[in-house]
Structure 1
Amino acid sequence: MKRTKKLIAATLCASMALSVCSCSKKFEGNVLDAADELGKNIVARNYKKIEKMASEGDEDLESLMELSSDAGEENNEALEKIASTLTYEVDEDSFEGDFIGKEGSIDVVFTYVDYEEALDDVELFEGIESFEALIDDCDDTVEVKITFEFENDGGSPVCTNIDEIEKLFPYAEEEFNFALPRTEYLGELTFLGDSYSAATNEYCDTHIISCEIPISEEGLALNWEYYYEISTDGTTYYTSSEMEPLDGKIIVDYYEMSFYIDDGEYTVTVYTADGTLLASASVTVTHTEVTPTPTPESPNSGNLYLGEDFVCPDGDSYQLPDTDLTVTLPAGFSFRDESDPYLFTILDGNYSIQRNLVVFAYNSLTGTANYIYTNYGKTFDSADDQADLQAATDMIAESMESQGYTTETYTQDVTVGDRTFTFYISESTVDGRQVYCAMGYIGDSDTCYTMVTYSHDADTMNETLNSISIP
């Protein structure tokens, strides 16, 4: 009988142990499932479902997980972008629990983008797209391990420390610096130039419309590629190529090198490269009235208004007035008078050049024209005046490109005595044919002329540029 009682007692103890062990194993499995579900809800930032799995709610956590601030829509989108990188993994081997299956804990490892590394040294963001691109390009991550604690509540584990979730959102109150509208970083558009009067907002007798817009120091962190348009009477007749600011300023320099800009009201409009309006202003252009002396009509009809300095030398050389320079024509060239059809064809409409023209020469064999005109107020060695030539050459290149040519611009120096004259050249090519335009200032310290050569032949152009000498 005693032996029977001992056997029954041992059996009961074994049964109880098996029952407790079974409960503990079941609780462990339930915790693993709960941890996985909790991880999913955290990544989805679904606070309502997290709260249902917790022993009690957490209002601070609920507010934090909304990732909403008063810093603006773009800032909230930035926070959402960082949160979208959050992932998790349950460490199943980390489970620890009591023997009877009442309490237990497990580690969940979370990772998200190292946003501080991704955004390092960026003081101002162009927009949410540039912010998101930096986040997408970053491979560095932050790893956070949270040990979640659970209690058995009627067979279901509930988490007792959801406040630990706050560790995953250290950026929730970050305020990133997104750019304001571009115009907020710009100063006033100001017209410039010796021929400009701020008092009347007018240019008089000008080859150029020039203006600048300063960019604030903070705005310099942005991309400021821009282009501009020149319009009059509601018609846009010039659009620049895309440009970069210079010395912290948006610069507009529109040139008509060969003649004064026609009278009228001109509007300068500046855009970002993607077409966002930056600034627009208008200016009036006038000129000094001169009563021209008409020359005889050319065979092509129409009038040339040549000044009193124009001559047609008898020989093949000519000394430029008030200088020690002589131009000697290369073989095949001849000086032409006012009746020459080529002179009319090339200079028709260029009244400023007509009035200041000194000599005109042409080579019929190579189709090369060479002419020289007085350029008052210029000097051959002035950096500012050289910049005018460069700008004019660039405009010629742009015009040729718009007609289907491929273009290249470069300079060529010609040394005469102790002076070096720099010629600015545009070379345009289409269907294997070249068109060259070279222009440069020549003269001495007191008198300046502009020499222009149009040619289809590089050798002839070079001969023309080297036709200047000091006897």
Structure 2
Amino acid sequence: MKKTKIIASLLSLSLLSSVSGCSLMDGDNKNVLKAAEEYAEAVISGDAGDIASLSIDDDDFEEEVGAFMESCTSNSDKKDAINAILDTMSYEIDKKSAESSKKSGDASVDITFTMIDYMSVYDDLGDGAGFDDYIDALEDGTEDVCEVTITVEFELDDDEWLVDDDDFENIYEVYEFYGDIAGMVLGNVHSITADQFQNALEGSLGLSSNDYYVHENSYYTDIYYYGDGFMVETYIYDESEADSAGDYFEDAFEDYEYMIENGDFEGATYCYNDADSGYIVFDGESFDYDFFDDDIYGGIYYYDNIFVIIVVTSDDPEDHAVIDSMISALGYPAP
């Protein structure tokens, strides 16, 4: 009887040992954790190409997420703000959460990303603050942070563990701040002088005083440049004619509202309008004949006795950078 029990026990131990051995041989946590670290490093660097190279759907990643990241950073100020947030990012890999099977070709591990609480920094900005103020505040730092924990899944591909992010849900969750920053409008409309407008025009578009027009009379000063798709103009009215600036803006605002209500615009746009100031900024394509009817990027602004248009009918990032430069020089809200 004892002999039978001993044999049975030995068989059980042998079976357990065999199963355990197979399990140990099947797992590959060491390489999965290495792949997780490479992925996390790529994420906090903000390099779409590096992330794509570590992903099973590399081409789709570049086409979708890479394009999203690029669109959010087309404005230089917003790109600087996003980079300032990336500079605060760190990560922690939960090694105990790692699971892997070379046989099935599947693995997973939890990663927690930490970054500055960029929205609390935004909320603490004073009235009229611009992106320079926001970037400075991000760089100054705060004790408030955001944490995002994701479960990263991997697929074994030719002995290499690659990230399998279904519909890119994980990266969009971590990179939510890209969209948040892209949607921010900072700065305010305020009074400017003719000299300030001319300096911004010449400095941003690389023009000389012979390249644009200045018309002055007793009622207003009109400064404008129209060429190569750029439409840049200001009317600075005498205070006795200040209502004319508001009338110009109201006409533009009515056309803008009509376009939006009829679904004749694709892209991003923001607006503000009150008794003595307002703005419309946009980055997209208008299909409305009365509102450019083209690719449009820039803004229309109004303050008291001043009306300003800074627009280019182009989807070229280089043209957009020129518009951004001029808007930034005046301290007005940018797209």
Q: Sort the TM-score into its range (normalised by shorter chain).
A: 0.3 to 0.5
User: Looking at both structures, which has the greater relative contact order when contacts are Cα pairs under 8 Å and sequence separation is at least 6?
Assistant: 2
- Which has more helix, going by share of residues? 2
Highest Rg: 1 or 2?
A: 1
- Which has more strand, going by share of residues? 1
Normalised by the length of structure 2, the TM-score is 0.46
Normalised by the length of structure 1, the TM-score is 0.34
